[in-house]
């Protein structure tokens, strides 16, 4: 049971103008493409004001679209980027909604500078740990997050393991890496 | 954070406040269910703040999944919730099948229900027994393990493994049941049913148990939903949601024609509550007792489902069907599917670029969300309540750290 | 024994008394320590059976009866560890304080008529007071361990044991009041005869207060469901988190010693002491106080009686431990302050009024009037009351 029908999208467009930049309603899980800087506004509307309250955030995923192999990289159709996917759920209506948004792999394409996206912690408190996990493993900086620290990796860990170009450190405090 | 703490009315203000002390509960501690570390800020026996630190079991299974084909990753799902590995297998298998728009045979469907519900019983037994252990009673733990052992024996006979099964796989199951298995399973259910009363006598209705769990760690439905809690933790707060009924078509289709009632309190009543002990007067919806009780009801519910599945499975005449090839290519695209695992809703998200190896794998763990709420529940409780609350969330660290 | 050494062997008095004291000390220490080993074995076996397990089966051939000894050897061989920040002297001292307190209390505990380390006219008082010292060992251990969990355990123990001393004391006062004596031997002797003479069945109030005593006794020796000081699911191991090896085993021995002690005290105060439910000896015309060979058999029988009752108490504590969950600290304190203490006080008052109103009991024939028995007096075989020569010596010896 996924959200279908353009009427809902029009309402969203009217409530948060210019936030929806694309959609795919024919996919297995239909999704809405949202401008990254508006994601918190969109989520706030969906959670608090929309006719179907998406009161629960199930999952935040960052997908690193980057091909390390230069030969394969020449063939792919996309440009390197990071895609954020938000899976929302409405407990009352029992429907799910998928939001996607595109971020650069590095902020202003400077390697090491994390891309930024507004935090949705203010909308769902449960987003706290999910965002920390995405920051930890994929290296996305959530602006406005109250406590953005690594959660699964040790605090002094270097690099973001779920990025495609991540390399396992050969040594961590004397522990052999490979 | 400090601001929130000051405003919280649940913080007990004492006339005499002593120095605060930071205490590490874990990672080596008897009641943290694995390697969880809780940093407690305590004022005497009163806990003013709990901060869970996780990641001690982290092995980045998601990264490993980007280097294996869909079927090769099945053993890694075993190791997430190792107490309910069958449910984990099923979650991933269904997510891949959803992306590939693949339909398993009817016989395989019923066998999956049978196996998964049996594993749910096993998982809840551990949850129940370990909860008794958290509260300081040792015997129910062994009573629970005694019965779980019989389920593991059944699983061993079906697939050769006792803990990490990899039995349910993409496109079906690795093997059919051996002959005579169903008889043994029915015999187990037959002897297991009266034993549930024993658990109720030792824990559910025990006066001390009720004193320790009733009105402790009360979670409002709004809080549970906002934190994305799921499974018995959510239903214990009175939210009527079970993915087996409310989930996506590919999952709910498995349970088509099965009769079951979601174990949740509606209008002050649990389903078939005349059979079970009455809710104690002290218990408040959303407290530790209700979370525990929902699990106990789900054991009975799963037994019913197993019985139904045995009937339907034996009625199926056709072949079980072969699972998909290890290197079967997936179509490009993505799919997200949540299944109702014993601990809660386990979501698998899968992005494919058209090869057999997924581009990105994501496991949305139920225990992860369930544990995230712990600091809200533990605020202002006593030290002894911390194991009681964390235990009632029934977390598995393998699933949280992945 | 001292008289025997002085009169027959012709030893000097000081030597005779020293030898006697040494023998008595060795007997008490070893019998109790041996008893503790048996109880540890029994606990494992009982826990096993309660939990559908076998418990130890191999060590020592059948039933694993040597398991405790094997464990003791293992503990002896263990590395002696002490945390870095620990207060060395107190850390080492603590287990001995607990151990000594628990075992010293046995000095005043009669096992049968005249089978007693040292008869005291304040026996009850001595036992309760010395047992109370055990808590110091625990507090020292918790304080000196330099571990927060140990400290929590020690603080809980301090709060709990000190609180439970109050209702425990009130419970103990009731038999003392009925017997008119604090001498444990006298209290037990007064319950001689049929089991209707036991203070448990003296009146409704003593019946109730016995259960209050049981609750308080379990709490004061830190057994489940009151084992908060070592609550393993909360405090890792509580006050003995940092202890290992022999030092830890001293705590363990102290715990089992105390368990036995409070059970024996319950038997002495409420369950007739060494007097069985049926006065077999007096029916056969035998007496324990005459000093001949037959009287020693009667005393041995009495000792078996007392040990049986005390062991039963210990077994019940084990049964409770393996059945019930643990209470929380505030609930433990509430049980003490809101239920046990007022109940004990009310029952004490009730028992007192009953004694005034119905000194002969509901059915006067069933019980000897309390007024007829005084310290050092016992009914002879014929039912007549007369002073026993052996007794006179005792009384003189205790209070010269």
Q: What is the pLDDT of residues C137-195, one digit of tens each?
A: 888 888 888 888 888 888 888 888 888 888 998 899 888 888 888 888 888 887 877 77
Residue A100 · residue A21 · CB < 8 Å: no
Q: Between C1 and C310, where is the model more confident?
A: C310
Residue B1: which pLDDT band, with cuts at 50, 70 and 90?
very low
- pLDDT for C325 beyond 70: yes
Q: How far apart are CA C117 and CA C109, in angstroms?
A: 7
Q: How far apart are CA A19 and CA A9, in angstroms?
A: 11
Domain count along chain A? 1
User: What pLDDT was estimated at residue B349?
Assistant: 92
Q: Is residue A66 part of a domain?
A: yes
Q: Is residue A164 part of a domain?
A: no
Q: Reduce the DSSP state of residue B65 to 3 states and report it.
A: helix
**What spatial distance separates the first Cα and last Cα of chain B, rounded to whole Å?**
28
User: What pLDDT was estimated at residue C64?
Assistant: 80
List phi, psi (to 5°) of B46.
-90, 130
C245 & C293 share domain: yes
A55 touches chain B (CB under 8 A): yes
C37 & C132 share domain: no
Say what percent of chain B tops pLDDT 70.
95
Q: Is residue C354 part of a domain?
A: yes
Residue-wise pLDDT for A121-140, tens only, equals 888 888 889 999 999 988 89
Q: How far apart are CA C98 and CA C239, in angstroms?
A: 12
C259 & C293 share domain: yes
Query: Rounded to two decimals, what is the model's pTM?
Result: 0.84
Residue B6: which pLDDT band, with cuts at 50, 70 and 90?
low
Say what percent of chain C tops pLDDT 90.
2
The pLDDT of B287-303, averaged and rounded, is: 91
Q: Which residues of B touch A87 (CB under 8 A)?
A: 336, 347, 349, 364
**Domain ranges, residue C264:** 78-359
A113 touches chain B (CB under 8 A): no
Q: Between C285 and B139, where is the model more confident?
A: B139
A25 touches chain B (CB under 8 A): no
- pLDDT for C229 beyond 80: no
Q: Is residue A158 part of a domain?
A: no
- pLDDT for C75 beyond 60: yes
- Say if the Cβ atoms of A29 and B227 lie within 8 Å: no
- Residue among B101, B226, B230 with most chain A CBs within 10 A, to mutate: B226
CA distance to partner chain B, nearest, from residue A62 (Å): 9
User: What pLDDT was estimated at residue B348?
Assistant: 92
Residue C249 · residue C240 · CB < 8 Å: no
C193 & C213 share domain: yes
Residue B361: which pLDDT band, with cuts at 50, 70 and 90?
very high
User: What pLDDT was estimated at residue C121?
Assistant: 82
B with C: 3 or more CB pairs under 8 Å? Answer: yes
Q: Between B318 and C142, where is the model more confident?
A: C142
Q: Between C358 and C383, where is the model more confident?
A: C358
Q: Is residue A134 part of a domain?
A: no
CA distance to partner chain C, nearest, from residue B305 (Å): 29
User: What pLDDT was estimated at residue C392?
Assistant: 41
CATH code of residue A13 = 3.30.460.80
User: What pLDDT was estimated at residue C378?
Assistant: 47
- pLDDT for C241 beyond 70: yes
C160 & C179 share domain: yes
A with C: 3 or more CB pairs under 8 Å? Answer: no
Q: Is residue A167 part of a domain?
A: no
The pLDDT of B280-292, averaged and rounded, is: 87
Q: Reduce the DSSP state of residue B132 to 3 states and report it.
A: helix
- Min mean pLDDT across A19-28, B149-158, B204-213 is at A19-28
Tell me which chain B residue has its CA closest to the CA of residue A128. Answer: B372
Residue B93 · residue B74 · CB < 8 Å: yes
Mean pLDDT of the residues in chain C: 79
- Say if the Cβ atoms of A98 and B347 lie within 8 Å: no
Residue-wise pLDDT for A91-113, tens only, equals 888 888 888 998 888 888 778 78
User: What pLDDT was estimated at residue B136?
Assistant: 84
Q: CA B49, B55, B58: angle at the middle one, nearest 5? A: 165
Residue C313 · residue C321 · CB < 8 Å: no
Residue B10: which pLDDT band, with cuts at 50, 70 and 90?
low
Which of C15, C42, C71 marks a domain boundary? C71
> CA gyration radius for chain B?
21
What would the DSSP string read from start to end of C120-170? -TTHHHHHHHHHHTHHHHHHHHHHHTT-HHHHHHHHHHHHHHHHHHHHHHH
Pick from A13, A28, A43, A38: nearest CA to A130:
A43
- CB-side exposure of C109: number of CA atoms within 13 Å? 33
Q: Residue C326 is nearest to which of B136, B385, B386, comparing CB atoms? A: B136
Pick from A149, A49, A47, A137: nearest CA to A91:
A47
**Domain ranges, residue A121:** 6-128
Domain residue spans of chain B = 61-401
Q: Is residue A141 part of a domain?
A: no
- Min mean pLDDT across B17-21, B234-238, C22-26, C344-348 is at B17-21
Q: Reduce the DSSP state of residue A116 to 3 states and report it.
A: strand
Q: Between C287 and B359, where is the model more confident?
A: B359
- Say if the Cβ atoms of B99 and A28 lie within 8 Å: yes
- Say if the Cβ atoms of C233 and B30 lie within 8 Å: yes
CATH code of the domain made up of B61-401: 1.10.645.10
Q: How far apart are CA C393 and CA C376, in angstroms?
A: 9
Pick from B60, B66, B362: nearest CA to A159:
B60
- Residue among B243, B338, B360, B399 with most chain A CBs within 10 A, to mutate: B360
Q: Is residue C187 part of a domain?
A: yes
Q: Between C277 and C323, where is the model more confident?
A: C323
Residue-wise pLDDT for C105-119, tens only, equals 888 888 877 777 777
Residue C359: which pLDDT band, with cuts at 50, 70 and 90?
low
Residue C60: which pLDDT band, with cuts at 50, 70 and 90?
confident
Q: How far apart are CA B301 and CA A138, in angstroms?
A: 40
Q: Residue C327 is nearest to which of B132, B143, B208, comparing CB atoms? A: B208
C125 & C46 share domain: no
Q: How far apart are CA B55 and CA A151, in angstroms?
A: 7
Q: Between A7 and B88, where is the model more confident?
A: B88
Q: Is residue A100 part of a domain?
A: yes
- pLDDT for B11 beyond 60: no
- Min mean pLDDT across B12-16, B221-225, C327-331 is at B12-16
Residue-wise pLDDT for B78-137, tens only, equals 988 888 999 999 999 999 999 888 888 888 889 999 999 999 999 999 999 889 888 888
Residue C71: which pLDDT band, with cuts at 50, 70 and 90?
confident
CA distance to partner chain C, nearest, from residue B189 (Å): 19
Mean pLDDT of the residues in chain B: 86
Partners of C270 in the β-ladder = none
E-assigned strand segments in A52-115: 56-65, 81-90, 95-103
- Say if the Cβ atoms of A94 and B368 lie within 8 Å: no
C104 & C138 share domain: yes
Q: Reduce the DSSP state of residue B203 to 3 states and report it.
A: helix
- Min mean pLDDT across B8-22, B164-178, B183-197, C262-276 is at B8-22
What would the DSSP string read from start to end of B287-324? SHHHHHHHHHHHHHHHHHHHHHHHHHHHH--S---PPP
Q: How far apart are CA A94 and CA C14, in angstroms?
A: 92
Q: Which residues of A touch B336 (CB under 8 A)?
A: 29, 59, 85, 87, 96, 98
Q: Which residues of B touch A94 (CB under 8 A)?
A: 241, 246
């Amino acid at each position: 049971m996924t959200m279908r029908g353009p009427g809902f999208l029009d309402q969203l467009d009217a409530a948060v103008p210019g936030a929806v930049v694309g959609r795919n309603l024919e996919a297995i899980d239909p999704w809405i493409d949202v401008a990254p800087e508006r994601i918190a506004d969109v989520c706030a509307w969906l959670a608090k004001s929309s006719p179907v309250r998406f009161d629960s955030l199930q999952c935040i995923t960052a997908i690193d679209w980057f091909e390390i192999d230069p030969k394969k990289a020449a063939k792919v159709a996309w440009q390197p980027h990071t895609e954020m996917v938000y899976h929302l759920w409405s407990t009352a209506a029992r429907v799910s909604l998928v939001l996607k948004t595109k971020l650069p792999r590095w902020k202003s394409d400077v390697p090491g500078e994390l891309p930024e996206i507004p935090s949705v912690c203010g909308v769902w408190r449960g987003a706290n740990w999910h965002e920390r996990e995405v920051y930890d493993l994929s290296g996305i900086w959530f602006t406005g997050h109250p406590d953005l620290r690594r959660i699964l990796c040790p605090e002094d860990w270097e690099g973001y393991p779920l990025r495609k170009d991540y390399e396992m450190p050969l040594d961590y405090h004397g522990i052999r890496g490979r | 954070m400090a601001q929130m703490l000051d405003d919280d009315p649940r913080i007990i203000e004492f006339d005499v406040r002593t120095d605060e002390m930071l205490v590490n509960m874990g990672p080596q501690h008897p009641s943290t269910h694995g390697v969880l570390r809780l940093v407690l800020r305590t004022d005497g026996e009163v806990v003013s703040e709990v901060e869970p630190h996780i990641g001690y079991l982290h092995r980045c299974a998601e990264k490993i999944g980007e280097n294996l084909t869909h079927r090769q990753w099945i053993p890694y799902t075993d190791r997430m919730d190792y107490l309910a590995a069958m449910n984990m297998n099923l979650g991933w298998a269904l997510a891949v099948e959803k992306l590939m728009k693949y339909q398993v045979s009817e016989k395989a469907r019923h066998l999956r229900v049978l196996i998964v519900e049996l594993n749910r019983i096993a998982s809840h037994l551990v949850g129940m027994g370990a909860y008794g252990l958290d509260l300081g009673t040792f015997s129910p733990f062994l009573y629970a393990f005694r019965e779980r052992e019989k389920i593991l024996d059944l699983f061993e006979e079906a697939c050769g493994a006792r803990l990490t099964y990899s039995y349910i796989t993409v496109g079906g199951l690795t093997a059919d049941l051996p002959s005579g298995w169903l008889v043994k399973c029915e015999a187990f259910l037959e002897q297991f049913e009266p034993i549930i009363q024993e658990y109720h006598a030792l824990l559910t209705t025990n006066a001390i148990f009720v004193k320790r769990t009733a009105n402790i760690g009360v979670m409002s439905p709004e809080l549970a939903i906002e934190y994305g809690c799921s499974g018995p933790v959510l239903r214990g707060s009175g939210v009527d949601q079970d993915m087996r009924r409310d989930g996506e078509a590919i999952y709910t289709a498995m349970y088509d024609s099965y009769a079951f009632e979601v174990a949740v309190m509606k209008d002050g009543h649990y389903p078939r509550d005349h059979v079970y002990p009455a809710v104690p007067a002290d218990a408040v919806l959303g407290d530790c007792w209700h979370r525990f009780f929902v699990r106990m009801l789900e054991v009975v519910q799963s037994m019913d489902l197993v019985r139904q599945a045995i009937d339907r499975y034996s009625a199926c005449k056709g072949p079980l069907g072969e699972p998909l090839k290890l290197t079967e290519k997936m179509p490009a695209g993505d799919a997200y599917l949540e299944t109702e695992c014993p601990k809660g809703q386990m979501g698998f998200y899968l992005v494919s670029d058209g090869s057999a190896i997924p581009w990105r794998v994501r496991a949305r763990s139920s225990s992860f969300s369930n544990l995230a709420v712990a600091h809200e529940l533990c605020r202002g409780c006593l030290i002894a309540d911390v194991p009681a609350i964390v235990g009632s969330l029934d977390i598995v660290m393998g699933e949280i750290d992945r | 024994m001292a008289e025997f050494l002085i009169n027959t062997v012709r030893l000097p008095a000081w030597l005779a008394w020293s030898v006697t004291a040494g023998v008595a000390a060795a007997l008490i220490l070893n019998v109790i320590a041996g008893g503790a080993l048996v109880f540890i074995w029994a606990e494992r076996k009982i826990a096993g059976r309660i939990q559908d397990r076998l418990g130890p089966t191999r060590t020592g051939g059948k039933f694993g009866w040597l398991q405790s000894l094997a464990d003791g050897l293992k503990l002896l061989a263990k590395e002696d560890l002490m945390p870095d920040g620990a207060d060395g002297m107190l850390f080492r001292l603590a287990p001995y304080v607990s151990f000594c307190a628990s075992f010293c209390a046995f000095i005043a505990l009669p096992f049968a008529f005249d089978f007693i380390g040292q008869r005291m006219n304040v026996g009850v008082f001595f036992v309760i007071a010395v047992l109370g010292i055990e808590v110091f060992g625990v507090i020292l251990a918790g304080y000196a361990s330099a571990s927060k969990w140990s400290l929590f355990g020690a603080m809980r123990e301090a709060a709990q044991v000190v609180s439970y001393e109050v209702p425990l004391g009130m419970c103990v006062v009731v038999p003392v009041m009925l017997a008119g004596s604090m001498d444990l031997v006298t209290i037990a002797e007064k319950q001689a005869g049929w089991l209707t003479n036991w203070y448990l069945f003296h009146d409704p109030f003593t019946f109730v207060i016995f259960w209050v005593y049981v609750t308080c006794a379990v709490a004061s020796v830190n057994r489940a469901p009151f084992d908060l000081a070592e609550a393993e699911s909360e405090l890792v191991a509580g006050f003995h988190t940092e202890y290992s090896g022999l030092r830890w085993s001293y705590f363990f021995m102290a715990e089992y010693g105390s368990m036995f002690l409070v059970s024996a005290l319950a038997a002495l105060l409420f369950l007739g002491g060494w007097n069985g439910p049926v006065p077999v000896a007096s029916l056969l015309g035998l007496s324990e106080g005459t000093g001949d060979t037959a009287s020693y058999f009667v005393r041995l029988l009495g000792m078996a009686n007392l040990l049986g009752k005390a062991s039963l108490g210990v077994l019940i504590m084990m049964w409770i431990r393996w059945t019930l969950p643990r209470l929380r600290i505030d609930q433990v304190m509430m049980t003490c302050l809101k239920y046990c203490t007022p109940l004990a006080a009310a029952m004490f008052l009730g028992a007192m009024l009953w004694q005034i109103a119905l000194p002969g009991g509901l059915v006067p024939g069933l019980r000897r009037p309390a007024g007829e028995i005084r310290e050092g007096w016992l009914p002879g075989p014929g039912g007549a009351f007369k002073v026993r020569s052996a007794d006179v010596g005792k009384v003189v010896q205790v209070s010269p």
